[in-house]
Amino acid sequence: MAYVRYLMRGLFEAEARLSPLVAPALHSMTIASGKLLRPFLVLLGARLVSGPDGDYGRLPAPPTAFDDSILPRLTESIFSQMRRHGVKRPEDIDTSWRAAPAFPGGLPQRIYILAAALEILHLATLTHDDVIDDSPERRGQPSARQSVGVQHAVLLGDLLLTLCFSLINETGDAQTGQLLAGMVRLMVRSEFMQAMNRRQLATLLERPSLRQHNRIIGGKTALLFTLALSCGAAELAADRTSLEKLRRAGYNLGLAFQLDDDRLDFLADRQAFGKPPGQDLRDGQLTLPLISALLDKRPANRAARRELRELVLRFHEGDEGCFGRLVELVERLGGFAASRRLSANYLAKADGELRSLVDRYQSRQTGALLGQLLGFLASRDY
């Protein structure tokens, strides 16, 4: 993971020199790197299918230093592809370094490049989300929208997307690029669906839909987790059965992660969570805790459901003072309990798929890390 950070920091510094208008936002992304779950899943998926006796099966000791020649080679390949005498022919480009271990005991270079690419894609979507949602903060730092303005933030998101696809091109696997492009298309469709819902908040409060909610979070979050956990293993030529298990595990992890994020949006401490509570409702988004509360059919809670709908509209229109009462009603109507149960169910499904692979490949060290990850996801408060 330190190597992934090293690559991202070097790429962002190179991009900041070429695009100084967005340098403050790139610097903020460097110092507030978040949980880096997606690149972590890329590395774990690759490690898992390597097994205990493969070239990359055993986890290495942390390197004391990284090869300083790789980052210049990578940035030169990405940022200087056009030459004075035209584009270099593919046969003139040395790509052997992509398959070499990044450091003693490390995975091939291309796996870390792939991990960095998926995190940069995630940052691109967050940058665009903050513009759409008018968010002032991200990970406890000013959002890109806040630090460089709306227009430059949109361009920065576009820039990060192109950087992601340039990195994917460096892995040399066309299938990964095709999967990523298709996944981004599905993510955007989910955002369109969410944008449509914002326009009909009052109607959705009367007729909330769990099915539509699941389609949105599946496209927004779970698909990227699916790709993250499986793409590193695919690069190392894992078999179809293993990849299917990794994809199912990643999808369930993504659903659980998003459900917990949605619950924390109501309950988390602002400083720990990195953004003000209630942001989803400010944006007109109905998430599972609220949907579950509104779907409570007990006659005794009819008045509470009516009050909750009224409070959601008031809060969405700017009445910040009613948020505490709104949270009380969601708790009383079982919204948070339902969210916790469903998240635990998805984590259990992911755990079952991953345990079978740990046993198959005898990847005990990686299995222990996966167990720690599942424990973190089950109890996180940020």
Overall number of domains in the chain: 1
Q: What is the CATH number of the domain that holds 256?
A: 1.10.600.10
Q: Let me know: does 145 contact 23? Beta carbons within 8 Å.
A: no
Quick one: tokens of 337? 């309990």
From CA 41, how far away is CA 107, in angstroms rounded? 14
Q: Tell me which DSSP letter residue 222 carries.
A: I
According to the model, what pLDDT value does residue 82 have? 47
The pTM score is 0.92
Give 160's Cβ-side CA count (13 Å radius). Answer: 27
Q: Would you give per-residue pLDDT tens digits along the chain (382 residues)? A: 999 999 999 999 999 998 898 888 898 888 777 889 999 999 999 999 998 877 788 888 888 888 888 888 888 888 765 444 455 555 556 778 888 899 888 999 999 999 999 999 999 999 998 888 888 777 777 888 888 889 999 999 999 999 999 999 888 677 888 888 888 899 889 888 888 888 889 999 999 999 999 999 999 899 999 999 999 999 999 999 999 999 999 999 999 999 999 999 999 887 777 678 998 999 899 999 999 999 999 999 999 999 999 999 999 999 999 999 999 999 999 999 999 999 999 999 999 999 999 999 999 999 999 999 999 999 988 8
Euclidean distance between the first and final Cα of the chain, in Å?
A: 20
For 360, the domain range is 2-379
According to the model, what pLDDT value does residue 314 have? 97
Q: Let me know: does 162 contact 117? Beta carbons within 8 Å.
A: no
Helix, strand, coil proportions of the chain in percent (round to 5)?
Answer: 75, 5, 25
Task: Give the count of beta carbons closer than 10 Å to the beta carbon of residue 233.
Answer: 25
* CA angle in degrees (0–180, nearest 5) for 74-39-238: 90
Q: Let me know: does 49 contact 233? Beta carbons within 8 Å.
A: yes
What is the CA 162 to chain-centroid distance, rounded? Answer: 17
According to the model, what pLDDT value does residue 172 have? 65
